[in-house]
């Protein structure tokens, strides 16, 4: 898709705070979909490896600092680690910009309390799925402009009715790796999907997405490598995978994933006010 002058983003300037995998993917995806590169800004925390990744993506000319992003952007995506939230507190955010948090585990109350403005929260599937134009995203609270922007990026949007539903959605985007193990073990998947689906109506649709997004593997080794790549240490996919490998049912493993998401959210609230620095 190529933007026209009268299109949704024609008069917008986009800033992305954080140039980790997700931040870079968002930047590249906007440009690939026709957004003018000169109207996009991105910041990062100073890591040499992140700079090299920005360079590889052809975005060196788009690097700026967070203050400039806040002053000049009409749309801002925050894609940094929870521990770095405290570094944003003194920035000149205003309600004149549409501010979108991609930060895992940080509630709207925490974000709005820290920044002093209205914030919208999203949770995306992995950057690899976004690059393949098979990404999905949860949005809370509902905002038509934001939904249109995400749809413009070829993301399938799920509008959450309440913020707590983000935990179930997050488990949903972890399903691809879980399905590989569950199928191998011959577990009852359909019944588990139905039960969770009764609690979160979009879950079956996300399940169908997960089946569709799975790559074709040419060996057992490549399958295991995929699972390991998806399983971030201490993360939700890892919790589900470990549960399955310990002999739990598929339903119990999904429940443990939801519990892990809530645990991470609780930890993130404390980490966001701590002293550790962990920013790409």
Q: Give the mean pLDDT of 115-141.
A: 96
Whether the bond between 141 and the residue before it is cis, its omega within 30 degrees of 0, is: yes
Q: Measured between alpha carbons, how far is 209 from 196 in angstroms, rounded to an integer?
A: 15
Q: Give the mean pLDDT of 252-275.
A: 82
> Distances from the Cα of 268 to the Cαs of 105, 149, 271, in angstroms?
6, 27, 5
- Indicate whether 138 pLDDT > 60: yes
At residue 272, the pLDDT reads 63
- Indicate whether 39 pLDDT > 60: yes
At residue 277, the pLDDT reads 43
Q: Give the mean pLDDT of 115-140.
A: 96
At residue 265, the pLDDT reads 86
Tell me how crowded residue 212 is: count the other CB atoms within 10 A of its CB.
9
- Indicate whether 59 pLDDT > 60: yes
Q: Measured between alpha carbons, how far is 106 from 270 in angstroms, rounded to an integer?
A: 10
Spans of all domains in the chain:
14-163, 166-269
Residues 76, 94 contacting (CB under 8 angstroms): no
Three-class secondary structure assignment of 47-109 = CHHHHHHHHHCCCHHHECCHHHHHHHCCEEEECCCHHHHHHHCCCCCCCCCEEEECCCCCCHH
Each residue's pLDDT tens digit, 200-221: 999 999 999 999 999 889 999 9
At residue 1, the pLDDT reads 44
DSSP conformational letter for 217: P
Pick the CATH number of 14-163 from 3.40.50.300, 3.40.50.150, 3.30.590.10, 3.40.50.720: 3.40.50.720
Residues 60, 7 contacting (CB under 8 angstroms): no
Each residue's pLDDT tens digit, 6-31: 478 999 999 999 999 999 999 999 99
Q: Give the mean pLDDT of 219-233.
A: 91
At residue 274, the pLDDT reads 56
At residue 14, the pLDDT reads 98
Q: What is the dihedral of CA 215, 221, 226, 229, to 10 degrees?
A: -160
Each residue's pLDDT tens digit, 143-178: 999 999 999 999 999 999 999 999 999 999 999 999
At residue 4, the pLDDT reads 47
Confidence category of residue 123, pLDDT binned at 50, 70, 90: very high
- Indicate whether 103 pLDDT > 50: yes
Q: Give the mean pLDDT of 246-250.
A: 98
Percentage of the residues of the chain whose pLDDT score is greater than 70:
94
């Amino acid at each position: 898709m190529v933007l026209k002058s009268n299109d949704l983003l024609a008069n917008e300037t986009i800033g992305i705070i954080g140039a980790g995998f997700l931040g870079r993917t968002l930047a590249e995806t906007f440009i690939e979909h026709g957004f003018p590169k000169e109207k996009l800004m991105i910041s990062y925390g100073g890591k040499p490896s992140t700079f090299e990744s920005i360079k590889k993506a052809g975005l060196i000319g788009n690097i700026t600092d967070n203050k400039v992003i806040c002053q000049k952007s009409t749309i801002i995506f925050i894609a940094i680690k929870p521990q770095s939230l405290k570094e944003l507190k003194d920035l000149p955010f205003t309600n004149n910009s549409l501010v979108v948090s991609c930060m895992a585990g940080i509630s709207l109350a925490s974000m709005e309390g820290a920044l002093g403005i209205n914030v919208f929260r999203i949770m995306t599937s992995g950057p690899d799925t976004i690059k393949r134009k098979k990404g999905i995203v949860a949005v809370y609270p509902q905002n038509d402009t934001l939904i249109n922007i995400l749809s413009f990026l070829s993301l399938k949007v799920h509008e959450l009715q309440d913020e707590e539903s983000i935990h179930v959605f997050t488990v949903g985007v972890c399903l691809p790796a879980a399905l590989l193990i569950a199928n191998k073990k011959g577990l009852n998947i359909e019944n588990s999907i139905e039960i969770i689906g009764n609690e979160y109506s979009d879950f079956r649709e996300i399940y169908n997405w997960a089946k569709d997004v799975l790559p074709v593997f040419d060996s057992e080794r490549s399958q295991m490598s995929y699972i390991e790549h998806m399983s971030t240490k201490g993360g939700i996919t890892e919790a589900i995978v470990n549960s399955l490998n310990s002999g739990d049912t598929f339903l119990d493993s999904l429940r443990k994933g939801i519990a892990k998401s809530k645990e991470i959210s609780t930890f993130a609230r404390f980490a966001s006010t701590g002293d550790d620095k962990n920013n790409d």
